[in-house]
Amino acid sequence: MRMLSEANGSIAGAGALLKILRDGQARTRAELVQLTGLARSTLGQRLDALLSQQWIVPTEEAISSGGRPAVAFTFNRGARIALAADLGATHARVAITDLGTEVLAERADEVPVDRGPVETLTWLQHTFEEMLAETGHTRDQICGIGIGLPGPVEHSSGRPVNPPIMPGWDGFPVPEWLGERFGAPVLVDNDVNIMALGEHWAARPEADHLIFVKIGTGIGCGIISDRHLHRGAQGAAGDIGHIQVASATDIVCRCGNLGCLEAVASGAAMSARLSAAGVEAADSRDVVRLVRSGNTQAVQLIRQAGREIGDVLASIVNFFNPSVIVVGGDIAEAGEQILAGLREVIYSRSLPLATQHLTITASELSDRAGVIGAAVMVIEHVLAPGTVDRSVTRD
Amino acid sequence: MRMLSEANGSIAGAGALLKILRDGQARTRAELVQLTGLARSTLGQRLDALLSQQWIVPTEEAISSGGRPAVAFTFNRGARIALAADLGATHARVAITDLGTEVLAERADEVPVDRGPVETLTWLQHTFEEMLAETGHTRDQICGIGIGLPGPVEHSSGRPVNPPIMPGWDGFPVPEWLGERFGAPVLVDNDVNIMALGEHWAARPEADHLIFVKIGTGIGCGIISDRHLHRGAQGAAGDIGHIQVASATDIVCRCGNLGCLEAVASGAAMSARLSAAGVEAADSRDVVRLVRSGNTQAVQLIRQAGREIGDVLASIVNFFNPSVIVVGGDIAEAGEQILAGLREVIYSRSLPLATQHLTITASELSDRAGVIGAAVMVIEHVLAPGTVDRSVTRD
DNA sequence: TTATTTTTGCTTGATCATCGCCATAAGTGC
DNA sequence: GCACTTATGGCGATGATCAAGCAAAAATAA
C-alpha cells in the first residue's frame, strides 16, 4: 500500500487531503479530521507540508463559535499554472489557467494547422512565452501543457494518427517537441475529447455519462463514461461524422462513402448547399450569421441538420444511455435552432427509460470548452493521476 | 492512505499481492519482491497471512537455479466458491464456480421468470442448496452470489426497474431476499451485462473495449469500456433492440414504435416470419435448427438479420470504437451464418481506423457466458472492489 | 478587565507496518 | 562429502501514525 501513496510523487501522503480541499470549499481542521479520520496531530503535519509547498492557503475570515476562531484552508489555485491550447483547422485558442481552470490569459488567432507541425508548434511556443511574460509567470510554475488537435491522436504517445486535415502531422512527437522547450509534461488529445472533458469538469461535474457533440466544419463527439474519457481501441471513438443517415444516401462525402452525417449536416455541408442555392456562405460562421439574421433557407437547413444529427444521436442514446448531451462547435452558436431539431428526434425515437432524465443542452463554455478541457487534462494528470488518463506521456 | 487499504476488509494490505498472484504475473518470492518493491521480510509476513487464510497455496515444483529452490505460490481458486445464476425469460442456468470461474457444478432448467420473484427465487434457493450438498460445500465457503436478470436492473440496489417481461419483479429487493438466506453479498445485473463481463474476463481479457451482442428472443448488448462495465445513467445502456433501422419502417414493434431492430432481426421476429411463410418455427431455437438443417428461407432470413444488426453495429463501431464485438445468444448458435452478414456490413460501413483491428467473433463461452459473468461479477467484487462495480449492494 | 470557550501547537508513549541484517535451510556442482 | 549458491525465517531498529494531555492563543460573554 505504501508504494501506491508514494507514487503520487511530491505531494506524498497528503494527496488524499488535497483531493478533499480541491473542491473549492474552505475546510477547518475539525472538518478535515472528520472527513479523513486522521488524528489531529497527523493532520497538522500534513497541512504543514501542503502549506510549505503553497498547495493550500489559510483563508482570511475566521469562523468563531464562541471561542478561538478556526482557520479554514482552501486549495491554492494559484500555486501552479497550466498552459492550454485548442488547435482547430484554421483558428487556435491558447490560454494560461490556474489550477482551478480559471483563465488568466487568453488568445484566439487565425492559425492554419495545415502548414505542418513545426511551424504551428513554433508559433504556439512563442505565444506561450509571450503570454507567460504578460502574466508574469515563470517556467517553473508550469505544471503541464495540454494540447487539443483536430484529428485522431494516440493519447498515450501524444502523436497524431493519420489525421485527414493535418498534413505532415502523422506521428509527429508533439509531447517531446514541446516538453524539451518548457520542461513540463505535455498531454495531447483529440479536440472533441478535451471539449468533453472541459464541459464535464467545469460545467457538469455531476453527470457520470456525458456526450459532447461538436458541430462545426465537421461533426464529432467526445465521450465520458463513468467520469472517464472513453477514447476507444484506436483512439477513434466519437467519430460520428461518417455514420450513414437514412435520408440522404445519394450525397457523396469527402471520405468517399455515401450519405455520411457530415456530408449532410455539418457546417461545411450547409454552407455549400446555401452557396449552391445562391446565398453567400463560405463557412460555418456564415451559416450561423445567416440563421441569426433570420434567413429562411438557413433556418430551415439548420433545423433539418438538427433532425439528421438527432437521428444518429437517438441510436447512440439507446446504446450509451448518457445523462447529458452537450452540443458545441461553431454551428451550436446558432443556439436553440439546432437543439430543437435534436430534441424533437431524440425524445421521439429513443427509449423512455433512457430519455426521462436526459438533458440536451448547448455548451456552457462555448468556444472555451477546448482550452479549458486541455487545462483539465493536465491538472488532473498532475494532481490526480489515473483519473483522466491511465498512461503517462512525458515528464 | 490507511483507510483506503483497510476498506479492503479481510484481505487487508495483501490485496495488491493477491491481484498479482491471481493474474499469474509472479510466482516466487523474488519475483514478487521485484514487482511490489516490498522488503523480503514484509513480503513474507503478507504471504503468511494469505497462506493462513488459504487464499494462496505453495506449489509442488521447486524452481532451482543453482541454490535452494524457490517456492512458487499460486492463487488458490478453491478457497471460496461463487454461486451464479443466469435467469432468462423461460430458461435458467445455475452454477457453482471456484474463484477462477471454473464451473464446479451446473444446471440448466426450464424456469419461467414470469411467475414472479418469490416463486423464482425460492426455486433458485433450493437449487443452490441442492448443488451445495452435491459438491459438498458449506455456506461459509460462499464468497457471494451473482444473478443475471432479463431486464433493466439498478445495479447499485440490485432491483429490477420496470422490466417488460418480468411481471411482479419491479423494485423487488433481490439482494436482501437472497442475502438473508445465504448470508453472503448478492449482486444483480442485467443478463447482457454479465454476459459481456463473462466473455471479457474468461475469454478476452486483453480487449479493453468490448461489445457483447446478444441475439435471442430480443436483441441487446453489454458494453465494456476501459475494462469497466458501462451501465449508463439509468442502467439502460446497451438497449439496441429498439434502434430504428432504415430498411423496414413499416413493421410495428412490441414497444409500439416502427422499424425497431428487434422487430426485424430478433429470434422472435424471424420465427414469426417463418411461421407466416408456412415454415413451422415457435422460437429462436427452432430458427437455429432450421438454419442448421439448411432451410433456404431460414438461411436467407438469418443472413438478412445479420445485415440489419450489422447496420446498427456499424454506427456503434464508429461511435464507440471497440476492439472486439462478441456475438452470443440463442441465434448466435447458428454460427457463421449471422457473423457473415454482420462483418459484411460493418467492414464496409465503418471507418477503416476503427475496423482495421476490430475482431468480430462468436461467443467462446456460448450459453455459459451468463453464469460465468455472474461469477466474475461476484469474485471481482470480493477480491478487487471497484474494478467492476463502484457501489456496494449488501454485506 | 476577567472568565469562559474553542482552536491550535507541541510533547509523550504506544502501536503497527516495514526494513535491513543475520542465521539457517535446502538445493547444485565439484 | 564439501563448498557454493540461493531461498527463507526471525529479530531488533526505524518511522509514521495515533490517542491523550497540556499550555498558549484568540476570540466571546459577563
Catalogue the long-range contacts made by A382-386 (C-beta closer than 8 Å, 24 or more residues apart): A382/A80, A382/A143, A382/A144, A382/A185, A383/A11, A383/A18, A383/A22, A383/A99, A384/A15, A384/A19, A385/A7, A385/A8
Strand arrangement of the beta sheet that strand A219-225 belongs to: A228-229, A219-225, A210-215, A324-328, A359-362
Q: Residue length, chain A?
A: 395
Total Cβ atoms within 10 A of residue B51: 14
Distance CA B265, CA B255 (A): 15
Comparing A247 with A230, the larger pLDDT belongs to A230
Name residue B268's beta-bridge partners: none
Query: Do A101 and A225 reside in the same domain of the chain?
Result: no
Domain of B38, in residue numbers: 2-75
CA angle A188, A189, A191 (to 5 degrees): 125
Torsions phi, psi of A281, nearest 5?
Answer: -160, 115
Q: Which nucleotides of C are covered by protein (CB under 7 A)?
A: 4-12, 17-21, 25-29
Given an 8 Å threshold on Cβ–Cβ distance, is A152 in contact with B235?
Answer: no
Distance CA B49, CA B41 (A): 13
Catalogue the long-range contacts made by A34-41 (C-beta closer than 8 Å, 24 or more residues apart): A36/B3, A37/B3
A2 touches strand D (CB under 7 A): no
Distance CA B4, CA B13 (A): 10
Query: Do B240 and B352 reside in the same domain of the chain?
Result: yes
From A209's Cα to the closest Cα of chain B, the distance in A is: 6
In a domain? residue A389: no
In a domain? residue B389: no
Query: Do A275 and A311 reside in the same domain of the chain?
Result: yes
Q: Is B148 on the interface with A (CB under 8 A)?
A: no
Cell numbers of B329, please? 445468444
Cell numbers of A40, please? 489531529
In a domain? residue A393: no
Given an 8 Å threshold on Cβ–Cβ distance, is A319 in contact with B238?
Answer: yes
In a domain? residue B28: yes
Q: Is the pLDDT of residue B1 over 60?
A: no
In a domain? residue A395: no
Of B40, B55, B75, which one is at a domain's C-terminal end? Answer: B75
Distances (CA, A) of A248 to A122, A260, A308, B300: 43, 8, 10, 27
In a domain? residue A110: yes
Q: Domain containing B42 — which CATH number?
A: 1.10.10.10
Query: Do B96 and B69 reside in the same domain of the chain?
Result: no
In a domain? residue A282: yes
Q: Which of residues 53-92 of A touch strand D (CB under 7 A)?
A: 62, 64, 66-69
Distance CA B283, CA B110 (A): 14
Q: Is the pLDDT of residue B282 over 90?
A: no
Query: Do B47 and B93 reside in the same domain of the chain?
Result: no
Q: What is the pLDDT of residues A14-28, one digit of tens each?
A: 678 888 888 878 888
Question: Any alpha helices (H) in B216-323, and if so which ranges?
Answer: 261-265, 267-276, 284-292, 296-320
- The pLDDT confidence band at residue A192, using thresholds 50, 70 and 90, is very high
Strand arrangement of the beta sheet that strand A91-98 belongs to: A103-110, A91-98, A81-87, A142-149, A186-190
B236, A353 Cβ separation under 8 angstroms: yes
A148, A222 Cβ separation under 8 angstroms: no
Q: Is the pLDDT of residue A391 over 70?
A: no
Over residues B357-368, the mean pLDDT reads: 95
Q: What is the pLDDT of residues B57-109, one digit of tens each?
A: 888 766 777 778 888 888 999 999 999 999 998 899 999 999 999 999 999 99
Q: Is B43 on the interface with A (CB under 8 A)?
A: no
Q: Which nucleotides of D are covered by protein (CB under 7 A)?
A: 4-12, 16-21, 24-29
In a domain? residue B393: no
Query: Do A352 and A221 reside in the same domain of the chain?
Result: yes
Q: Report the pLDDT value the prediction gives residue A303, as an integer from 0 to 100.
A: 92
Q: Domain containing A308 — which CATH number?
A: 3.30.420.40
Over residues B344-361, the mean pLDDT reads: 93
Query: Do B114 and B243 reside in the same domain of the chain?
Result: no
Q: Residue length, chain B?
A: 395
A138 touches strand C (CB under 7 A): no
Q: Report the pLDDT value the prediction gives residue B24, as an integer from 0 to 100.
A: 77
Q: Is the pLDDT of residue B395 over 80?
A: no
User: Rg (Cα) of chain A, in Å, rounded?
Assistant: 23
B38 touches strand C (CB under 7 A): yes
Q: What is the pLDDT of residues A292-338, one digit of tens each?
A: 998 999 999 999 999 999 999 999 999 999 999 999 998 988 878 89
Over residues B14-34, the mean pLDDT reads: 82
Query: Do B379 and B342 reside in the same domain of the chain?
Result: no
3-class secondary structure, A207:
coil
Distance CA A335, CA A292 (A): 9
Q: Is A230 on the interface with B (CB under 8 A)?
A: yes
Distances (CA, A) of B298 to A15, B292, B295, B333: 61, 9, 5, 14
3-class secondary structure, B207:
coil
B2 touches strand C (CB under 7 A): no
Q: Is the pLDDT of residue B349 over 80?
A: yes
Query: Do A348 and A216 reside in the same domain of the chain?
Result: yes
What's the structural domain count of chain A? Answer: 3
Q: What is the pLDDT of residues A139-188, one digit of tens each?
A: 999 999 999 999 999 999 999 998 988 999 999 999 999 999 999 999 99
Average per-residue pLDDT in chain B? 89
DSSP state of A243: -
Distances (CA, A) of B395 to A48, B175, B184, B185: 39, 9, 6, 5
Name residue B81's beta-bridge partners: B98, B142
CA angle B32, B33, B34 (to 5 degrees): 90
Rounded, the Å distance between the CA of B38 and C1' of C29 is 32
Query: Do B13 and B140 reside in the same domain of the chain?
Result: no
Distance CA B73, CA B47 (A): 9
Q: Is the pLDDT of residue B227 over 90?
A: yes
A247, A264 Cβ separation under 8 angstroms: yes
A42 touches strand D (CB under 7 A): yes
Query: Do A65 and A88 reside in the same domain of the chain?
Result: no
Q: Which residue has the cell 444516401?
A: A249
B64, B88 Cβ separation under 8 angstroms: no
Distance CA A125, CA A123 (A): 5
Rounded, the Å distance between the CA of A274 and C1' of C19 is 75
Q: Report the pLDDT value the prediction gives residue B5, as an integer from 0 to 100.
A: 32
Q: If you count DSSP H runs as helices and E runs as strands, how many of each does chain A have, helices first?
A: 14, 15
Chain A residue with minimum CA distance to B259? A349
Best B1, B253, B262, B345 member to test A by mutation, with max A CBs in 10 Å, is B1
B177, B205 Cβ separation under 8 angstroms: no
- The pLDDT confidence band at residue B246, using thresholds 50, 70 and 90, is confident
Of B22, B50, B75, which one is at a domain's C-terminal end? Answer: B75
Cell numbers of B227, please? 475494462
Q: Is the pLDDT of residue A3 over 50?
A: no
Weakest-pLDDT range from A92-106, A267-281, B16-30, B215-229: B16-30
Over residues B245-263, the mean pLDDT reads: 84
Question: Among all strands, which nt has the closest C1' to B28 (CA)?
Answer: D7
Average per-residue pLDDT in chain A? 89
Query: Do B28 and B162 reside in the same domain of the chain?
Result: no
Rounded, the Å distance between the CA of A57 and C1' of D5 is 57
Q: Report the pLDDT value the prediction gives residue A309, as an integer from 0 to 100.
A: 96
Question: What whole-number percentage of chain B has pLDDT above 90?
Answer: 63
